[in-house]
Chains A and B, each alone.
Chain A
Amino acid sequence: MAEDTRLRQPHGATGVLVLGDGTVFWGQGVGAEGEAVGELCFNTAMTGYQEVMTDPSYAGQIINFTFPHIGNVGANLEDIEGPNPHALGCVMAEPITAPSSFRSQQGFSEWLANWGRIGLSGVDTRAITRRIRKAGAPNAVIAHNRDGVFDLAALQAKAAGWLGLEGLDLAKEVSSTQMWAWDGGPWKLGEGYAPGDLPDDAPHVVAIDYGIKRAILRQLVDAGAKVTVVPATATFDEIMALNPDGLFLSNGPGDPAATGVYAVPTIQKWLATKKPLFGICLGHQMLGLAVGAKTVKMHQGHRGANHPVKRLEDGKVEITSMNHGFTVDADTLPGNVRATHVSLFDQTLCGLELVDQMAFSVQHHPEASPGPQDSYYLFKRFVEGLR
C-alpha cells in the first residue's frame, strides 16, 4: 500500500517530514540538521521566500512552499522581516540551487544552516497543499540528518504530542523584550534602505510588537511617523509615558485568544483615550477582541501573495499579502464597529473600523514584503490622522 512504501526510507533520503497521523514525506535535508515540531502550513507566493522565513508571524510553523524552485536568488541582509528567521523550517519541491542575483550575499542553504533552520526538498509539495486544503493544517516534525538516521516512531510521537497553535501565546516569545526606537525608511533599488530623516515634530507612533515585521516600521516612517517599539506585554501606563500620538498593533504568531489575555485590557484603555489606532493581522484580531468580537481558527488559513480583498467603502479590489490562520468573526462585531474589507476568496472579514473614533485594522499585510503593495495607503491614512 502507498502508506507502507512511503514509510520505507528511499535510498539517499536525508530529510523527512512526519505528520501527527503518521504520514511520512521523504526527501533531501538542507540547512541545519536536527528536528523541529510545529504546524505545517503552505505559502503560495512565488517570490519572497526569505521575507516569509523571517516573518515573526510564522513562529511555530513549518512552511510548505508551493512554488517548486525556492532559493534561486539566494539570501541577503536586506530582505528580512525580523532579526532572524522565525519559521521552523521549509519544505520544497526542488533542491536549492546556487543563487543568481546581484543582490545575493549568501546561498539560501547556507543561510538556513546559519540560522539553524531545517529545509527539506524533493517532496511532492502540491500533494501536501492539497492535503492541507482538505484536512486542515496538521502538526508535523521536520527532520534533517546527513546520515539519514531517523526514528520515525519517535518523530511521529513528537508531532502527535505537540499541542498545536491553538491556545498558544507565541507573540510573547517573538516580541522584543525592551522598548526601542525605529527610524528606517523603505527600500529603494540602488540605494537600499533609506535612513530615517524625520522632522522633530513628526507624529509619534508606539508600536506594540507581537512579532512585528520590519516592513511595517518602514512604512510607518515613510508615511511620516516616528516609531517606538514596545514589547507585547507593555502596559497602558508604560505606553502613555511615551506620549504617543497613535498606537499601532502589529502582526504576530499564535492564537489571538491567548495573546488577547493581556493585550486586550491595554487596547481597551487606549480606545478610551479616543486617540488613533491601527492594527495589522494579529493586531487586527487584538482590536477585534478588544471591541468584543470573537476570533476563530480557520480551516486552512490564508497564506500567499495573491489574495483579493474588497474595500467596502468604494468596492475597490486590493491584491494583498496574507498570512493568518485565525480570523475575526464578522458576525460578532458590535454595533459601533463596521466591516471595511472582506476577502473575495472566502468572504471572511479582512478589515474593521470603529464608527465613532479613528481606530481601524486589517487582517492582510498592507506592508507587503513579500507581495503586492496595493494597500500602502493605509499607513498614510493612519499617520495623517495623527496630525
Chain B
Amino acid sequence: MPKRTDIQSILVIGAGPIIIGQACEFDYSGTQAVKALKGEGYRVILVNSNPATIMTDPELADATYVEPITPAVVARIIEKERPDAVLPTMGGQTALNTALALAKDGTLEKFGVQMIGADAHAIEKAEDRLKFRDAMDAIGLESPRSAIAHTLDDALKALDHVGLPTIIRPSFTMGGTGGGIAYNREEFTRIVLGGLEASPTTEVLIEESVLGWKEYEMEVVRDKADNCIIICSIENIDPMGTHTGDSITVAPALTLTDKEYQIMRNASIAVLREIGVETGGSNVQFAVNPEDGRLVVIEMNPRVSRSSALASKATGFPIAKVAALLAVGYTLDEIQNDITGVTPASFEPTIDYVVTKIPRFAFEKFKGADNSLGTAMKSVGEVMAIGRSIHESLQKALRGLETGLTGLDEPEGFANASKGEILAALAKRVPDRLLIAAHALRVGIVPAEVTRVSHYDPWFVERLAEIIAAEELVRTSGLPGDLRPLKAMGFSDARLAKLAGVSEMEVRGARHAQGVRPVFKRIDTCAAEFESQTPYMYSTYAGTECEAEPTGKRKIAILGGGPNRIGQGIEFDYCCCHAAFALDEAGFETIMVNCNPETVSTDYDTSDRLYFEPLTAEDVLELLHVEMQAGTLEGVIVQFGGQTPLKLARALEAAGVPILGTSPDAIDLAEDRERFAALVDQLQLKQPAGGIARSREEAIEVAERIGYPVLMRPSYVLGGRAMEIVETTANLETYIETAVRVSGDSPVLIDRYLRDAIEVDVDALCDGEQVYVAGVMQHIEEAGVHSGDSACSLPPYSLPADIIAEIKRQAAVLARALSVRGLMNIQFAVKDGEVYLIEVNPRASRTVPFVAKAQGRPYAKIAARVMAGEMLSAFELAPRGTGHVSVKEAVFPFARFPGSDPVLSPEMKSTGEVMGIDSDFAMAFAKSQLGAGVQLPMSGKVFISVKDSDKPFILEAARGLETMGFELVGTRGTAEWLKEHGGVTVSVINKVLEGQPHIVDAIVDGQIALVFNTTEGVQSLKDSESIRMAAWSRKVPIFTTAAASDASVKAIAALKARPMEVRTLQEHHGMEPVVV
C-alpha cells in the first residue's frame, strides 16, 4: 500500500522542555519523524518550545514554531497553517494531551485536521484507567484485581476477591495519606478503617499488590494492515513497585521460557488491537508473578516512549522513524531495514548481546527530599551499555553512569554495617540498591537471602554473585596472568586496579602486554544473519573476531556527554550532533562515542560510525586504538559534550591522541583558579575577589579576607554541584562538613558574592585570531542564581550599550589570550556600571543551541568546522533576523521532590529549558513562562513579600498590578513600605511565624493567584520555605527574585494588551521556505 496522497501537510507536536519522565528521547523520536515525513515529500509543521532540540533546527521542518505547547497556542498554529493531519505520538504525554484537548474542544474538526498514528478514541482508552481495565477484561487479559469499598464490610468482602497482600488507597487524599500495604487481615482492617476516615468521600480503593512481581515491557509496532511486530522485550531487574524509568532494566527478557514469552507477545498485540492503535509504536507493561507465571497488564502507552528509544538503540530498529512512515499509510513490508539494506522492517529484531540500562538520579541536589523510589519517576537520565553477557553489560553500564563507579563499587556508608543493617537497607527501593545487593553478597549473605529481600530474580542475583566472587579472587590473589576472563566479565581496568591495589595504568600496561584488547561487534537487528551496512558498534572482551573494519578515510571522533543529569543534558548532545553534521559536510568521516540511549547523537543516522560505549578513558582509548589502525584520525572533539569528555582530554593527549580545537592546556588554565587569576591580572580585567582553599582553615582564612557573603564551589564541576552562598563562618564550616570534601586533590573555590549584580552569559566563537561574539544574554535573576536556572534575554533587555560593548571587548581579549579554537562561554556580573569576570569556559555551553535558535545561525556547526581548521571569515555569522527578542526560561522538577525547598540558588536544579520568542521582551517572557508550564494569572490576588533591598525594585510592578485590577496582599513590612513610598494599597496578611490564618493557609485555600517572595539571609530563607512549597504544590506561579517578578508583571500587561501571535523561526529569521 503506498503512502497517503490525501494529506499534504502534517503538524508534529514535540514534547517541550526536558522534565523528569520526558527527556531528549522525544527529540530523538521527533527528529526521526520529521526527517522521515519530509523525505516522503510532506510539508512538515513543527511545534516545540525547547530550543535545545535538533528537531527545531530550522533546516529540518518546513515551518518550525518555537512556541509554548498549549492547546490554545497549537490551535493558533493550526488556524494559521491549516495542516491536513497532526501526528501526536512523537512528543510524549505533552503532545498526546495537547492533541486530545484539541480533539475534544473541536479545533481539529473545525479546521479539518486528522489525527494520524493514534486517534482520540485510542488515546482515551489507553489513558483512562477504568476504560483501560474494561478493555483488558474484554480481551481476557488480567489487570491487578481491585475493588472500591465504602465500609469495612465491603472491604472485607472485596478482600476475598482481591487477596493479600493488598494495597489500600483512600480516595481524594493528598499523596496517598492514610493508605498502605496490608500483609494480613488484621493490618488490612486497621488500614481500611484509617483510610475510610482519611478519605473525604469515605472511600478506599482496594487493589491486589503486585509489588515484588517481575516487571516486563514489550515494544510493539503495528501497521494499518494489522501487521504487528515485537521490537524488543525488556525485563526490569528492579521488580514491580519501582517506576520503570527508575528501574535497572535489561533487554531482551532473560528469565522467560518461550511459552511464557509467547503469552506476553500475544497479549501485547491483543492490547494494541483492542486499544485501537492503528499504526505506530506502543509500549505495553506487564507484571508476572514469579511463583506461577500469572501475568497482569499494568499499562500501555499508545505512542513512542523512553522505552521505545531504548528499544531502538538496543536493537538498531528505528521505531520512531518507522512509526512516522506507518502513520502516513505505508505497511511494514514496504519499509526497508536500514541496517541490512536488503530486508524489510516487517520482522522482529533478534539480538546476540545483552543490553543494560541504569537510571541516573539527582537526589543530592534536592536536600530534604526522600530518596526512596516508587511509582513516580525521579531519575533525570540513563545510561545504556551493551556486552556479550549480563556481567559485561552491567559493569559497562555502571562505569558509564559516571557517578564515580568503576563497577560494583562498595556503596557508601556500609563499610562497618552489620548483615542485618545491610539487609534492612536492601529491603528499601533506593537508587543504590543494586550496589547494596552486591555488597550483601560480598559480606557473605547468600544469594537466596538477597533474592528474598530484594525480590530481584535469582538469576540476576547469581550473576552478581559471580562478579563478586571474581572480585574477591582479585582482592586476595592479585591480578591473574590472563586478564581476559575478567575483562570478559566487564571489569574495568580501574576496578581491577582498586581490587588489586595497583594503579589503573599498571593494569592497562599488564593487559596490553598480554595482548588483551576488546573486539568490536555490530548491532545489526539480526544476530549476524545478514550483513550490516551501518557501523553501529559495541566493544566486548568475550570474542575473537573484530568487526570494526576502520576505514582509510580522514576521520574525526566526537565524544558525547553520557547520561543526562542536571547541568549536562540535551544542549550538549545538540552540540555533538551539530559537530557530526558539520564535519560530515566538510568531508570528514565522523565517529560518535556516547552511551546515552535517549539522544539524537546515538542514532546511527547522525554520524558515519557510532560506538555505543561508556565515556571512560579506557573505553575511548580502546576504540580509538582500533580506529587509528586505518586512515587518519585528525582528532577528537572533547569540547562539545560537557564535562564528561573534557575530563578525558588529558588522558587522550597523554596517549598521543590529537585533540581538536582549543588545547586541553587552555581548558585547564580556565579551570585552574590560580593560573586563571594570573591571566586575568595580565589582561587587566576585573574579577570578584576570591581565593582557593585546600583545607578548612584555608577556607575560613580566604572567606574572612574577602568578606562575606562568599560563593563556595568545588573545582571541576558542571551545574553548580554543591555551589552555595555562604554568609557566616558558621555556615562555611557546615558547608565544608556536609557539602564537599576539601582535599588537595579537589580544592574549593571561594569568591566574593556580588549581591544584586546583573549576570550576563556570553557565547563566542574564535578561530585563534578572529573572535565573534554570537550572543550576549542578560540574566533576569541576579548573580548568585545558577546561570542554568536563570531566565535570560537575548538581546539584553536593560543593559546600556557601552556595557555590552565592554563585555564584547573583554570576551574577545579572553578568547585570544586562551587561543580558543571553537566555542567559548563567559559569565560576567555587572554591578554599579562595572563589569566583573565570573567564569570562562573555552568549550560548548548550555546556551549554544538557544543562541543559535534566537539568531538563526548554526554556531555549533561553524565552531566544529573552525576546530577542524577553517577560519571564521568563511562563514556568515551575523544574526539573520533582528526584530525579535528571545527569552530562555528554566524548568524545575521540584514537584517530584517533596520535602526539598523549591528555591533558586547557585546550585543548578533545573532539568530543561524553553524559549519564548516575540517582537518584544514582555511577550517573549510571557511565552517563556507559558512554555515552562507557568500560567500567569489575568486577575486575582497577588502576594508580595520582598527583602528590604528589593522594595524599590518591586514598586513599579506593584503599581502595575494594581492598575490592571489585581488585589495585593503582603507581609506587614512590604505592605507598609509600598503604601508609604508608592501609595499602593496592599492588605496585610500574617507571616507563618505570626500565626494562623497566614499566607500558607491562603495559598493552600486557593486564594492567591501569584506570589512574589524574595528573601535575604539564612533565617529569612528558612522562614519562607513553606510559602514556596505551598505555591509549588498548588501550582501557583511564584517568583523569588525582584527582577523576575517585575518581568512577570510586564508579561501580564502584554498578554492583556494583545493576543499572543505565533511565528515560525523561518519567519523570524527571514529564511526562504526550505525546498526538498
On A, residues with C-beta under 8 Å from B are: 2, 6, 11, 42, 44-48, 50-51, 66-69, 72-73, 76, 78-79, 93-94, 97-98, 100-103, 124-127, 129-130, 133, 187, 189-190, 300, 304-308, 310, 315-317, 319, 344-345, 368-373
From B339-347, B680-688, B883-891, the one touching the partner chain is B339-347
Pull 17 A–B residue pairs with CB atoms less than 8 Å apart, ordered by A: A2-B544, A11-B482, A72-B254, A93-B388, A103-B260, A124-B542, A126-B527, A130-B528, A133-B528, A133-B531, A189-B260, A304-B529, A306-B526, A310-B333, A345-B347, A369-B258, A369-B259
Find the residue from A67, A307, A317, A344 having the highest chain B CB count within 10 A: A317
| Chain B: CB-nearest residue to A374 | B228
Known: A97-B462, A305-B350. A129 touches B332 (CB 8 A): no
**Nearest CB on A from B733, distance (A):** 51
A126-B258 Cα distance, complex, nearest whole Å: 22
Known: A66-B528, A69-B389. A306 touches B349 (CB 8 A): yes
Interface string of B523-550 (1 = CB under 8 A from A): 0001111110000000000111101000
B457 adjacent to chain A (CB < 8 Å) = yes
Chain B contacts for A98, CB-based, 8 A: 462
Interface string of B319-358 (1 = CB under 8 A from A): 0000000000001110000000001101111111110000
Known: A72-B459, A373-B262. A344 touches B343 (CB 8 A): yes
Given contacts A130-B547, A306-B347, 7 further A-B contacts (CB under 8 A): A42-B527, A47-B256, A93-B389, A189-B292, A316-B225, A370-B258, A372-B262
Let me know if B458 and A368 touch, CB within 8 A.
Answer: no
Select one of B259, B295, B390, B462 contacting A100, CB under 8 A: B462
Chain A contacts for B527, CB-based, 8 A: 42, 44, 66-67, 126, 129, 304
Chain A contacts for B354, CB-based, 8 A: 68-69
B226 adjacent to chain A (CB < 8 Å) = yes
A369-B257 Cα distance, complex, nearest whole Å: 10
Let me know if A126 and B521 touch, CB within 8 A.
Answer: yes
A125-B545 Cα distance, complex, nearest whole Å: 10
Let me know if A129 and B528 touch, CB within 8 A.
Answer: yes
A371-B292 Cα distance, complex, nearest whole Å: 21
**Nearest CB on A from B551, distance (A):** 19
A258-B353 Cα distance, complex, nearest whole Å: 38
A11-B480 Cα distance, complex, nearest whole Å: 13
Give the dominant DSSP class at B's interface.
loop
Chain A contacts for B529, CB-based, 8 A: 42, 44, 66, 129, 133, 300, 304
Chain A contacts for B458, CB-based, 8 A: 100
Chain B contacts for A319, CB-based, 8 A: 229-230, 346-348
Let me know if A124 and B544 touch, CB within 8 A.
Answer: yes
Known: A187-B259, A317-B333, A372-B265. A306 touches B528 (CB 8 A): no
Known: A127-B545, A316-B227. A51 touches B258 (CB 8 A): yes
Interface string of B772-793 (1 = CB under 8 A from A): 0000000000000000000000
**Nearest CB on A from B314, distance (A):** 12
A270-B590 Cα distance, complex, nearest whole Å: 64
B291 adjacent to chain A (CB < 8 Å) = yes
Let me know if A102 and B252 touch, CB within 8 A.
Answer: no
**Nearest CB on B from A122, distance (A):** 8
A93-B489 Cα distance, complex, nearest whole Å: 12
Chain A contacts for B343, CB-based, 8 A: 308, 344-345
**Nearest CB on B from A228, distance (A):** 26
Known: A102-B293, A133-B530, A190-B294. A315 touches B331 (CB 8 A): yes
Let me know if B352 and A126 touch, CB within 8 A.
Answer: yes
Chain A contacts for B254, CB-based, 8 A: 69, 72
Chain B contacts for A126, CB-based, 8 A: 352, 388, 521, 527-528, 543, 545
Let me know if B390 and A69 touch, CB within 8 A.
Answer: yes
Give the dominant DSSP class at A's interface.
loop
A189-B286 Cα distance, complex, nearest whole Å: 15
B263 adjacent to chain A (CB < 8 Å) = yes
Let me know if B351 and A46 touch, CB within 8 A.
Answer: yes
Let me know if B257 and A79 touch, CB within 8 A.
Answer: yes
Known: A73-B257, A97-B462, A124-B544. A46 touches B521 (CB 8 A): no
The 3 closest A-B pairs by CB, nearest first: A48-B258, A100-B459, A370-B258
B173 adjacent to chain A (CB < 8 Å) = no
Chain A contacts for B331, CB-based, 8 A: 315, 317
Let me know if A189 and B295 touch, CB within 8 A.
Answer: yes
**Nearest CB on A from B337, distance (A):** 10
| Chain A: CB-nearest residue to B349 | A306
Chain B contacts for A73, CB-based, 8 A: 255-257
B8 adjacent to chain A (CB < 8 Å) = no
Select one of B255, B333, B352, B482 contacting A72, CB under 8 A: B255
A169-B227 Cα distance, complex, nearest whole Å: 38
A363-B999 Cα distance, complex, nearest whole Å: 76
A126-B540 Cα distance, complex, nearest whole Å: 12
Let me know if A308 and B258 touch, CB within 8 A.
Answer: no
Chain A contacts for B229, CB-based, 8 A: 317, 319
Let me know if B352 and A368 touch, CB within 8 A.
Answer: no
| Those of B182-225 within 8 Å (CB) of chain A | 225
A73-B260 Cα distance, complex, nearest whole Å: 11
Let me know if B545 and A103 touch, CB within 8 A.
Answer: no
A37-B527 Cα distance, complex, nearest whole Å: 25
A124-B520 Cα distance, complex, nearest whole Å: 12
| Chain A: CB-nearest residue to B251 | A46
B266 adjacent to chain A (CB < 8 Å) = yes
**Nearest CB on A from B765, distance (A):** 45
**Nearest CB on B from A16, distance (A):** 14
A78-B260 Cα distance, complex, nearest whole Å: 12
| Chain B: CB-nearest residue to A122 | B542
Chain A contacts for B531, CB-based, 8 A: 133
Interface string of B228-268 (1 = CB under 8 A from A): 01100000000000000000000011111111111101100
| Chain B: CB-nearest residue to A104 | B257
Let me know if B261 and A47 touch, CB within 8 A.
Answer: yes
Chain A contacts for B41, CB-based, 8 A: none
Let me know if A344 and B346 touch, CB within 8 A.
Answer: yes
Select one of A45, A69, A103, A371 contacting B293, CB under 8 A: A103
Chain B contacts for A187, CB-based, 8 A: 259
| Chain B: CB-nearest residue to A125 | B352
Chain A contacts for B482, CB-based, 8 A: 11
A131-B226 Cα distance, complex, nearest whole Å: 36
Chain B contacts for A97, CB-based, 8 A: 459, 462-463
Known: A125-B352, A316-B225. A189 touches B347 (CB 8 A): no
Let me know if B389 and A94 touch, CB within 8 A.
Answer: yes
B290 adjacent to chain A (CB < 8 Å) = yes
A373-B230 Cα distance, complex, nearest whole Å: 12
Chain A contacts for B521, CB-based, 8 A: 126
Let me know if B528 and A308 touch, CB within 8 A.
Answer: no
A316-B527 Cα distance, complex, nearest whole Å: 25
Chain A contacts for B257, CB-based, 8 A: 47-48, 50, 73, 76, 79, 101, 103
**Nearest CB on B from A200, distance (A):** 30
A364-B263 Cα distance, complex, nearest whole Å: 20
Let me know if B346 and A308 touch, CB within 8 A.
Answer: yes
A51-B260 Cα distance, complex, nearest whole Å: 13
Let me know if B292 and A68 touch, CB within 8 A.
Answer: no
Known: A125-B352, A307-B347, A373-B266. A100 touches B457 (CB 8 A): yes
Chain A contacts for B388, CB-based, 8 A: 68, 93-94, 126
Known: A97-B459, A127-B543. A102 touches B290 (CB 8 A): yes
A94-B253 Cα distance, complex, nearest whole Å: 16
Chain A contacts for B545, CB-based, 8 A: 124, 126-127, 130
Known: A45-B350, A307-B347. A124 touches B528 (CB 8 A): no
Find the residue from B255, B257, B260, B528 having the highest chain A CB count within 10 A: B257
| Chain B: CB-nearest residue to A2 | B544
| Chain A: CB-nearest residue to B255 | A100
**Nearest CB on B from A325, distance (A):** 14
A248-B521 Cα distance, complex, nearest whole Å: 43
**Nearest CB on B from A74, distance (A):** 9
A345-B332 Cα distance, complex, nearest whole Å: 13
**Nearest CB on A from B302, distance (A):** 21
